[in-house]
Chains A and B, each alone.
Chain A
Amino acid sequence: MAMRQTPLTCSGHTRPVVDLAFSGITPFGYFLISACKDGKPMLRQGDTGDWIGTFLGHKGAVWGATLNMDATKAATAAADFTAKVWDSVSGDEVLSLAHKHIVKSVNFTQDSNHLLTAGNDKLLRIFDLSNTDAAPQEIAGHGAAIKKALWCNDDKQILSAADDKTVRLWDRTSMEEVKTLTFNTSVSSMEYMADGEILVITYGKTIAFYNALSLELIKIAEAPAPINSASLHPEKDFFVAGGEDFKLYKFDYSTQEELESYKGHFGPVHCVRFSPDGELYASGSEDGTLRLWQTAVGKTYGLWKCVLPEDLGADNSEQMYGTTPEIKA
Chain B
Amino acid sequence: MTTPVPVLRLPKGPDPNSRGFDPNSPRYIALCRTTVATTEAAGGDEEELQQEQHARSVLRERFLRCLLAMNNKKVSDLHTPIGVQKEALIRSQDVISFTFDA
Contact = CB atoms under 8 A, between A and B. Distances in A.
Contacts of B32: 89-90
Given A90-B34, A321-B10, A53 B5 contact: no
Please report whether the interface of chain A is mostly helix, strand, loop or mixed according to DSSP: loop
Interface of B: 1-15, 19-23, 25-28, 30-32, 34, 81, 96-97
Please report whether the interface of chain B is mostly helix, strand, loop or mixed according to DSSP: loop
Given A51-B20, A89-B27, A9 B10 contact: yes
Given A1-B2, A28-B26, A91-B19, 13 more contacts: A9-B10, A28-B30, A42-B14, A51-B11, A51-B20, A53-B21, A57-B96, A89-B28, A91-B20, A91-B21, A298-B5, A304-B5, A321-B10
A303 B12 contact: no
B21 A303 contact: no
Contacts of A54: 14, 19-20
A12 B13 contact: yes
A297 B5 contact: yes
Interface in A1-56: 1-6, 8-12, 28, 42-44, 48-56
Contact of B97 (A10, A52, A93): A93
A92 B99 CA distance: 12
30 contacts: A1-B1, A2-B2, A4-B2, A4-B3, A5-B4, A6-B4, A6-B6, A8-B10, A8-B11, A11-B13, A12-B13, A28-B30, A51-B14, A52-B21, A52-B25, A53-B22, A54-B19, A55-B19, A56-B19, A89-B21, A89-B32, A90-B23, A91-B21, A292-B11, A298-B5, A303-B8, A305-B5, A306-B5, A307-B6, A321-B6
Contacts of B14: 12, 42, 51, 54
B11 to A, nearest CB: 3
Contacts of B20: 43, 51-54, 91
A254 B77 CA distance: 64
A327 interface: yes
A232 B32 CA distance: 33
Nearest to A71: B27
Contacts of A9: 10-11
B25 to A, nearest CB: 8
Q: 7 shortest A-B CB distances, which residue pairs?
A: A53-B20, A49-B11, A91-B21, A53-B21, A4-B2, A320-B6, A50-B12
Interface string A125-169: 000000000000000000000000000000000000000000000
